[in-house]
Structure 1
Amino acid sequence: LEEGFEVTIASPSVKKLQTVSHDFVEGMETYVEKPAYGLDSHASFAEIDPTQYDGLIIPGGRAPEYIRM
């Protein structure tokens, strides 16, 4: 969306999705997870017809696990 592409954000149900950012904190060797921005999904998975799309992007992080479950 930020780059001007026409997209459909889908999730198991239509809802607000909360993103997070991973950042390093001084003195720690591992990153911490911080709340980032929220975005609204446009459609539920059940509403999606894959033949109407040119591609699929599944973001990293916990999204693939969430989708599988």
Structure 2
Amino acid sequence: VAFKAEMDSKTALSNASSMIDNKQVDAVCLNLLQDSSSFGTTDNQIDFITANEIISLPKLDKLSLSLKLLNEATNI
């Protein structure tokens, strides 16, 4: 599983999706940053992208989000 932080919402999804083939990973966690103030926050929202689907996880505290990511990763 790879992680990708992007600030450009127009290209974020295609950039993250291309990592699946280019980096030969099973999934990518896309973190779309709104601006530089997105760093250092206590919560986050992630799109979990595989070759077959995009799962938008809700905005949660980082521990809860990491557990949801782990659950999704075990389903690959």
TM-score by length of 2: 0.27
Name the one with the larger helix percent: 2
Name the one with the larger strand percent: 1
* Greater Cα radius of gyration, structure 1 or 2: 1
TM-score by length of 1: 0.29
